[in-house]
Amino acid sequence: MRKILLLLVFLSGCKKDETLFTLLDSGKTGVDFNNYIDEDEENNVLRYGYFYNGGGVAAADFNNDGLVDLYFTGNMVANRLYLNRGDMEFEDISEKSGTGLNEGWKTGVSLVDINDDGWIDIFVCRAGAQDPRLRTKLLYVNNGKTADGIPTFTEKAAEYGLDDASYTTQAVFFDYDRDGDTDCFLLNHSLQEYAGFSNLLASYRQQRNDAYGNKLLRNDSGRFTNVTDSAGIVSNVLSFGLGVNVNDFNNDGWQDLYIANDYNENDYLYLNERNGKFKEVIRESMGHVSLFSMGTDAADINNDGLMDVLTLDMLPGSNERIKLTSGDDNFDKYQQLLRAGFHDQSMRNMLQLNNGVNPEGVPVFSEIGQLAGVSNTDWSWAALIADFDNDGWKDIFISNGYARDYTNMEFLKYSADRQVEGNQGGDMPKQMEIIAQMPPINEPDYIFQNRKDLTFVRKIKEWGFENNNQSNGAAYADLDNDGDLDLVTNNIGRKAFIYRNNAEKMLAGNNTFRVKLVSAKYAGLAGSKVTLYSDSLTQTQNFIPVRGFQSAQWDALHFGLGTRTRIDSLEVQWADGSRQAVKNVSGKEITLRYGDARNVADKSAGPAPLWRPVPLIDFTHIEDARNDFRIQTLLPAMLTYQGPHLAQTDINGDGIDDFYIAGARGQSGGFVAER
C-alpha cells in the first residue's frame, strides 16, 4: 500500500499540462487589472445601454525589447500598462509611463505609429459620459524608453486633430487613399433612444448627429480632417458600431471596411473605389448578416487566399437559453425591418465565406456559420481567427458573457408584473431593485479547432477554457516567445485572464514561422498582406492591429506549418501595392523590409467568373405575406415560403426544352419557351 501511495504522489508531481492552454495565476504574472463596474442610481444599464460592454486590451512591444507588453482599458477604473519582463511576468508601469488615465468611460484601444519614429503609440477611445470633454479621444505618443527600459508617453490628440468627442467604440488607422500617410476611421455608436423598434426607423436613417455617426478622418499633412460625407461613409443616428475590420476583400490591393452594427441597422461593407471614396455593397455581397452584430474579425479560414468575415451575435448554445432569449429575434420584426429598407438580419454568429468577385468587382460571400458549427456562442464580443494549434489552419476564439441579461424572458415577465402591481396601487419598483433581478450570463469562452473542411469543432474543455466569466476585449500574441499564440482577455468584475499556449510542448511536431514586417512609415505597413507557400499549403495573412472587439495586437505574423519543415517562398504585398518575394526560406523567423520592395501596377480585382447572369426572363415571384409561426409556434420551419417551383420539359414539341415557373398564392405562373 505504501508503494502505491508513493507512486501516486510521484505521478501527481510529474503531471504536465493536459490542455492546450493554461490559465495563469495573476499572482505569478503580476497582471491584476480588474475592470470593475460600480452600479448605482446614476450609473447603470438603464441610463447607458452599453454599461456592461467592457473594455479592450492591446498587445505590443512598447519599449522595443523583443517582448510583447499589455495595455488594458477600464470603463470606470484607470487604464493599466504592464511591461513584459520575460517568463510570463509583468510589471505595472501605468503611472511611470503616463498612460494610467482614470477619467471618462474608456472603450477601445488602438495601436499606431502616428509619427513614424519606430515606437508604437496608443490611441484610447471613450464614450458613455454626457460631458463631451470626458469623451474626447486620447493619443499617447511614445517618447521611447528610459534607462530601466520603461517607455514614457505624452498625450497629443489635440495636436493631431484627433480630440474628437463622439461616442466611440473603436478606432482603426490605415492609409485608405494610399497617399503615404495614416488616416483614421472612428467606429461610433448612438444612444438608447434610437435603439428600439418603431415606425420611425426608416426616417432615422436620414437623421444625423455628429456625436453618434461613424467618421472617416483623412490625414492632411499631420492634421486630421473629417471627410465622412465626401468619402461615402454612412453616418446616421442608427449607427451602433461595435466591431470594425479593415481588409482587402476583393483582392484589388486597396483596403476595404467592414462595420458590425448592433440593434436594427444592418452591417456595412465598404469597397474602396481607389479615388478617396467608398461604396457600400452589403446587399450585393452578403445574403444576410447578424442582427445584433458585436465583435468581428476577417481572415482566410480555408487557405484559398480570400479574406472571410466572422461577426458575432447573441444566440445561445443550449435549448433553455435559446428559449429564454427568443424575444429579440422574431419573424414579424424581421419582415418589418425588410419593409423599412434594412438588409436581411438574423440573431446568430455569421461566418461569411469569400467566393471571389462578381463581374462588377464586388466580393460575393456564402454564409456558413451553422454549417461550420460556430453560430451559437451566446452574448459574444471578441472574434479572433488565428492558428492556435500550429497545424497551418486558422482556429476561432470567442470571448463572451454579460453582467446582466435584460433580454431574459423570465426577467421581462418579472419586470412587467412589478409594473402592473405598481399601477394597481402597490409599491412601484425602484430602479436598482429591478436591475438587481437581471440574471448574469456567465459562460466559458468558446474556442474552435479548424477541421480543414469549412467546419470547426468545439474545444472548450480540451483546450482549457472551462472557466465561467464575463470577458470582452481580447488579444493574441506570443507573450513568451516560444513559438505559439497566447491569449489575453479583459473581464468585467474579475482580474484579466492570461492563457499560456502549451503547443510547443503538447504539439511539438507542429512547426511555426514568424514574419516581421518593418516599414519606415506606418501607412505602408497597415494593410500589408503576406502569403506563405509550404509544400501544398498556401496561407495568407494581413497586418492590421485592430482585431476582435475594442482591442488590438501588434506582433510578427504567426504561421503554423503542421509537420512541414520547408517554406518554398514568401510574398508580401505592402499597403501601397509594392511587392517583394523571398524563395527558399529557412529558419523560424524572417524580417521583411519595405525598402526592399518594388513598385508594381495595381492588381486587378481577379479573373472574371465562369458564370454571368443574363436577364432573359421577365418574371418576378412575389410571396403573399404570411407568418406560419402565428398559426403554429412549434413548426420547425416555414411551410408557406417554398416557391418558386420550376418544371422543365419540351412543352411545344420543337425539340428545345422550355420551362414553367409556378407563382405564389394568388399569382399566375409563367411559361417560358426557348426560341
pLDDT digits (tens, 9 = 90+) for 502-561: 999 999 999 999 999 999 999 999 999 999 999 889 999 999 999 999 999 999 999 999
For residues 229-251, average pLDDT = 96
Amino acid in the structure at residue 384: L
570 grid coordinates: 514568401
Q: Using alpha carbons only, give the angle 498, 500, 506 rounded to the nearest 5 degrees.
A: 160
Q: How confident is residue 608, by pLDDT bands cut at 50, 70 and 90? A: low
Which of 162-176, 435-449, 450-464 is predicted with the least confidence, judged by mean pLDDT? 435-449
Amino acid in the structure at residue 207: Q
For residues 58-69, average pLDDT = 98
Q: How confident is residue 577, by pLDDT bands cut at 50, 70 and 90? A: very high
Does 199 score more than 80 pLDDT? no
Which residues lie below 8 Å from residue 246, measured CB to CB, with a gap of 6+?
172, 174, 185, 255, 256, 257, 258, 526, 527, 544, 546
Q: Which of 419, 407, 273 is nearest to 330 (CA)?
A: 407
Q: What is the structure's pLDDT at 601?
A: 55
More confident residue, 28 or 606: 28
More confident residue, 176 or 659: 176
Which of 186-190, 326-330, 369-373, 453-457 is predicted with the least confidence, judged by mean pLDDT? 326-330
Q: What is the structure's pLDDT at 602?
A: 55
Q: What is the structure's pLDDT at 7?
A: 47
3 state SS for 361-415: CCEEEEECHHHHCCCCCCCEEEEEEECCCCCCCCEEEEEECECCCCCCHHHHHHH
User: For residues 628 and 631, what is the distance between their CA atoms, to the nearest angstrom?
Assistant: 5
Q: Which residues pair with 217 in a beta bridge?
A: 184, 226
Does 123 score more than 60 pLDDT? yes
Does 1 score more than 60 pLDDT? no
- pLDDT tens digits, 332-358: 888 888 888 999 999 999 999 999 999
Q: What is the structure's pLDDT at 324?
A: 83
Amino acid in the structure at residue 175: D
Q: What is the structure's pLDDT at 10?
A: 44
Does 11 score more than 50 pLDDT? no
User: b/e for 57-82, b at 16 or more Cβ within 10 A?
Assistant: bbbbbbbeeebbbbbbbbbbbbbbbb
Q: What is the structure's pLDDT at 606?
A: 52
Which of 138-152, 322-336, 452-466, 508-522 is predicted with the least confidence, judged by mean pLDDT? 322-336
- pLDDT tens digits, 27-39: 999 999 999 999 9
Which of 113-117, 195-199, 244-248, 575-579 is predicted with the least confidence, judged by mean pLDDT? 195-199
Please report where in the chains the cell 409563367 appears, as a residue: 670
For residues 462-479, average pLDDT = 96
Q: Which of 384, 341, 412 is nearest to 473 (CA)?
A: 384
Which residues lie below 8 Å from residue 480, measured CB to CB, with a gap of 6+?
86, 87, 88, 486, 500
User: Could you give the percent of the chain with pLDDT greater than 70?
Assistant: 93
Q: What is the structure's pLDDT at 612?
A: 67
DSSP helix/strand/coil, 107: strand
Q: What is the structure's pLDDT at 607?
A: 54
For residues 288-311, average pLDDT = 97
Q: What is the structure's pLDDT at 12?
A: 46
- pLDDT tens digits, 69-109: 999 999 999 999 999 999 999 999 999 999 998 899 999 99
Does 675 score more than 70 pLDDT? no
Q: What is the structure's pLDDT at 440?
A: 92
User: For residues 89 and 82, what is the distance between their CA atoms, to the nearest angstrom?
Assistant: 9
Q: How confident is residue 15, by pLDDT bands cut at 50, 70 and 90? A: very low
Q: What is the structure's pLDDT at 480?
A: 97
Q: What is the structure's pLDDT at 272?
A: 98
Residue 238 CA, chain-centre distance (Å), reads: 19
User: Cβ atoms within 10 A of the Cβ of 617, count?
Assistant: 10
